[in-house]
């Protein structure tokens, strides 16, 4: 990914901010998927003179946002939800997904 050199292979941060965990949620909890995508497309990849921002294909940015969201606990396969413009999802506020694992009720012995 074009972002790893500054944000870390696992988005843990480096030269740039961490894009996962507490840092991510502190900075982005009041925003939407669409805003995150817009921010990234308008500003990243970062460079001193700004010449690299917005240079990636939209589909690449979408993949990157998908990756960031997945790293932060969103389910895989949600890509369509914000690519499809009919979906209300681009306006959905980013919220930390609740871990459902423990609540699963399986009747198998």
Residue numbers at the binding site for ligand HEC (CB under 6 A): 2-3, 5-7, 15-17, 19, 27, 39-40, 44-47, 56, 64
Instruction: Give the nearer residue to ligand HEC in terms of CB position, either 2 or 70.
Output: 2
Q: How far is the CB of 32 from ligand HEC (least distance, A)?
A: 13
Q: How far is the CB of 73 from ligand HEC (least distance, A)?
A: 16
Q: List all residues 6 or more positions away from 34 whose beta carbon is below 8 Å from its beta carbon.
A: 82, 90, 91
How far CA 11 is from CA of 54, 72, 107, in Å, comes to 19, 10, 38
Q: How far is the CB of 42 from ligand HEC (least distance, A)?
A: 10
Distance CA 109, CA 96 (A): 32
């Amino acid at each position: 990914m074009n972002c790893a050199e500054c944000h870390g292979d696992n988005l843990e941060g480096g030269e740039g901010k961490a894009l996962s965990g507490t840092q991510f949620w502190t900075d982005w909890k009041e925003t939407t998927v669409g805003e995150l995508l817009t921010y990234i497309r308008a500003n990243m990849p970062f460079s001193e003179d700004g010449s690299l921002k917005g240079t990636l294909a939209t589909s690449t940015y979408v993949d990157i946002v998908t990756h960031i969201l997945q790293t932060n606990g969103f389910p895989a396969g949600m890509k369509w939800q914000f690519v499809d413009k009919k979906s209300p999802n681009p306006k959905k506020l980013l919220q930390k997904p609740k871990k459902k694992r423990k609540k699963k009720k399986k009747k198998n012995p």
